[in-house]
Amino acid sequence: MSKLWEIREVSTVAILVLEIAFFTLYLRPEGARTHPFFNAPNALLILKYSAIYGIAAIGAAIVIISGGVDLSPGAVIALAGVVAGQRFVQAQWSLTASILTGLAVGAAAGGLSALLVVLVRLPPFIATLGVMGIARGAAFIVTEGRYFDVSAHVPVDWRVAGLPLDWIAPTLMIGLALLFQLFMTRFQWGRAVFAVGGNATAALFSGVAIGTVQASVYVIAGVLAALSGVVLTVVQGQGKADLAMGYELDIIASAVVGGASLSGGRGSVVGAVLGTLIFGVLRNALPQIPGATFYDRLIVGLVVIGIVVMDQLFRRSEGYRP
Amino acid sequence: MAAVEFDHISKSFGAVRALSEVTFAIERGSAHAIVGENGAGKSTLLKILAGTVRPDRGALRLDGRQVMLAGPREALARGVGLVHQEMLAFPNLSVAANVFAGRELMAAFGWLRDRAMRVRTRDLLARLGVPLSPETLVESLPVALRQIVQIARALALDCRTLALDEPTTSLTAGECDHLFGILEDLRRSGVTLIYVSHRLPEVFRLCDRITVLRDGRYVGTFERRSVDHDHVVQAMVGRSIPPRPKHERSADAARSLLRVERLSSAPCFDEVSLSVAAGEIVGLFGLVGSGRSELLETIVGLRRADRGRIEIDGRMVRIRSPRDAARAGIVLVPEDRQRQGLCFNLTVRHNLLLPLAEASRQWLVGRAERRTANALVDKWRIKAASIDVTPDALSGGNQQKVVVAKWLALAPRVLLLDEPTKGVDVGAKDELHAVIRAAAAGGAACLVVSSDLPEILALTDRIAVMREGRIRGELRAQDADEESVMRLAATSAGAAV
């Protein structure tokens, strides 16, 4: 068995803990007022907004582990969100039917990426760049520039399976992260994803159905991005075509910070979700520091580079050779 | 004055010790051969000379001056050129651009002096006796000419020392003659040649001195005049090789397990018929490009056959992928373990169990996985620190054993092996042969592709020889010798360059 400190997720947790400790100290209030950062409602807020990235980052991490990359999640989030919103608000469908339609749209977008990558043999970067444009365009066509106010149709004290609205997104994120972690580590399918990402030729020779494996990861990523979009629409209360602009890069960054290697074959689903939490904390805490508002993108960029460089130095010291 | 001196050079790659304390000198103006078996350290030594690999310890002296080469660029600047077997050419650029790559002739502001480079290239090619336009794209050239382009490059950069790594591996007899003509001319003009090969006749033809390496160590340097062929072979192997006992079996040819009939796949091979009985080891010999590897790839569904049929136990099988093949009981141990054999991001355990898990349509990662993997490691005597390390922590021979073992874990009925002992040391080679014999003894039909004639002769019961995509003959192993096999395999007419 691996020793505790050799597990990659542990170092991601450590970074997250250090980060929280830093902001807790830095933002500590004077006197006996409640802490502006370290309190339960704020923690829930961070979890809720991170979940939008986090659910999609699970799929992104799986795609990256398989040796590909998916640039479409931001656009798919928006498209699935507006489709579900439009069905629910305009077409007056039931919530379940609207959500399922949103997820189906995500599956279709993922399926298109899969088709382009596996059958047409486009490089994943190009294929998913195209799908990103198509999905974003479709979102604008569906909405015709309007937005759907979902919140008016969802009662404030609405619960799903006994969960209050605010808890749904974090619960989904954590549950799905654990589920897919299990798929990736204890199921032969996950093993095959790692094999294809590490060496597709050797995987092919070893009897792995590499086309099926590659196709499956894009479809899964599409569905998970769509779920993020549906959650965003329901939680935020509105569906808009220009939501989640540029999320794909944050999502990929989260997966990478969580240990995924863009050359494939390495990474972790739980790590990717922890990565989104690292960014979620930053996005939440930085605006509370006076004068830091304009620095937050810059700091996010520095954090990505810093963590990945640290990771590489660590691996090199272990005698790892690329 | 020695052109090159190696002084106690040592180099390790991970756990593998490639060179240890190698010391010898190469005289200016001589033609000096470095020979040794696969894995003896020849290529590593050349890479150190060319600046692409840095030694862990020891000194390299060029013309008596100690140097620390920072990279190939510096080696070139000091007059050392390397002609690779796998050529580092730019196929998408012209011959002239390749000759001057990295050292372009330039006017002010980096303006390329194209015409000057073309003229010099043409002169050089003329000097080498190759009337070739400098504007030809390298990708349109045959391998032999690409090699000559590399030599031209070394000359254009005024290299006084030219190192060649297995330059004749992919050349026909005629092309070899032409290359030797060029090399002999160069030598007469004062260029020092360092010639690495395992083909002894070439070495004896070209070189004055022969240095033998074995398992990364220096064995000795011999004057050509004072030694003979057998002497050098003994130094390479470290012992005189006793003729190996053949395993005598009466292969029941009527009960052929694998039968390939009139299988064709243009342009690689045509109308190939072949059968292998259960328990039989058949060798498939042929030079590079004869279509052997492609035949194996077609059998496991990696490429499509145009015509012909494949039968297992008398029943025709349709195989569209290695996955189908594995389920039909046919496995291919591929030639290139780095590229086709192993996933280096997965542990030895995961690599060992991948084909088994995939072929058995397993859903969950098995509970007994660890036990199964350990059993395989013990059974095939794979030396690994644990089953949880990645394959790059293993020596080449043990990596190869993992590749073979992961396929044997399926208990295949038909075992296809493509160059199963390429690049492994002598000890591992013997062990791999034992593994293949054990598989055959267990009833598998084995078809072994190898360019290593002694290996084919020692290992197999029957030898089929391919040339230019066709089977040119079959020999029983006890009737065959190197000459009879080679006569079938080699092209009759020495094709001109």
pLDDT at A310 over 80: yes
Rg (CA), chain A: 20
- Strand B445-449 relative to strand B281-285, pairing: parallel
Identify the weakest region by mean pLDDT among A54-63, A308-317, B149-158, B392-401.
A308-317
What residues have CB less than 8 Å from B56, skipping those under 6 apart? B10, B11, B12
Structure tokens at A316: 């090199």
What whole-number distance in Å separates Cα of residue B335 and Cα of residue B416? 10
> Which CATH class, in words, describes the domain spanning B2-237?
alpha beta
Q: How does residue A42 score in pLDDT terms, banded at 50, 70 and 90?
A: very high
Chain A CA closest to residue B328: A207
Cβ contact A22:A15 at 8 Å: no
Output the pLDDT for position A215: 97
CA of B330: which chain A residue's CA is closest? A207
pLDDT, position B176: 80
Q: Which uninterrupted H or E stretch holds A164? A: strand A163-164
Q: Specify the range with the lowest mean pLDDT, choosing from A192-196, A315-319, B49-53, B318-322.
A: A315-319
- Residues from chain A that touch B345, judged by Cβ atoms under 8 A, are 194, 197-199, 264-266
8 Å CB contact of B355 and A206: yes
pTM reported for the whole predicted model: 0.79
| B contacts of A188 (beta carbons < 8 Å) | 357-358, 362-365
Residue B454 contacts A where some CB pair is shorter than 8 Å: no
| DSSP secondary structure, B476-495, as one string | EGGG--HHHHHHHHS-SS--
**Helices A210-236 & A95-114 angle (0-180, nearest 10):** 140
φ/ψ of A9, rounded to 5, equals -60, -30
**Confidence check: pLDDT of A158 > 90:** no
How much is the pLDDT for A322? 34
Position A106 pLDDT exceeds 70:
yes
Q: What is the pLDDT of residue A288?
A: 85
Q: Do A194 and B332 touch (CB under 8 A)?
A: no
Residue B396: what pLDDT?
Answer: 80
Contact B344 A2 (CB under 8 A): no
Whole-complex ipTM = 0.84
Q: What is the pLDDT of residue B377?
A: 92
Which amino acid is residue A243, in one-letter code? L
- Mean pLDDT value of segment A142-164: 77
Task: Count the Cβ atoms, other than its own, within 10 Å of residue B95.
Answer: 29
Nearest neighbour of B345 by CB, restricted to A2, A194, A207: A194
Between chains, do A192 and B325 touch, taking CB under 8 Å as contact? no
Q: Is any Cβ of chain A less than 8 angstroms from the Cβ of B342? A: yes
Contacts of A60 (CB under 8 A, 6+ apart): A70, A73, A221, A248, A251, A252, A254, A255, A272
Exposed, middle or buried: residue A10 (CB in 10 Å: 0-12, 13-18, 19+)?
middle
Just give the CATH number of B247-329+410-496. 3.40.50.300
Predicted local confidence at residue A316, as pLDDT: 60
| A-B contacts at Cβ under 8 angstroms | 89
Residue with tokens 């040391």: B425
Residues carrying CATH 3.40.50.300, chain B = 2-237, 247-329+410-496
10-residue mean pLDDT series, chain B (497 residues): 90 80 92 82 88 90 88 85 73 88 81 88 86 86 81 84 82 79 89 85 88 89 86 73 51 73 86 91 82 90 90 90 92 90 92 90 80 90 87 85 92 93 76 90 92 84 87 84 74 38
Confidence of residue A254 (pLDDT cuts 50, 70, 90): very high
Inform me whether the C-beta atom of residue B346 falls under 8 Å from chain A C-beta atoms. Answer: yes
What is the residue-averaged pLDDT of chain A? 89
CA separation for the pair B158, A206 (Å, rounded) = 48
Torsional class of A259: left (φ above 0), alpha (ψ -120 to 50), beta (otherwise): left
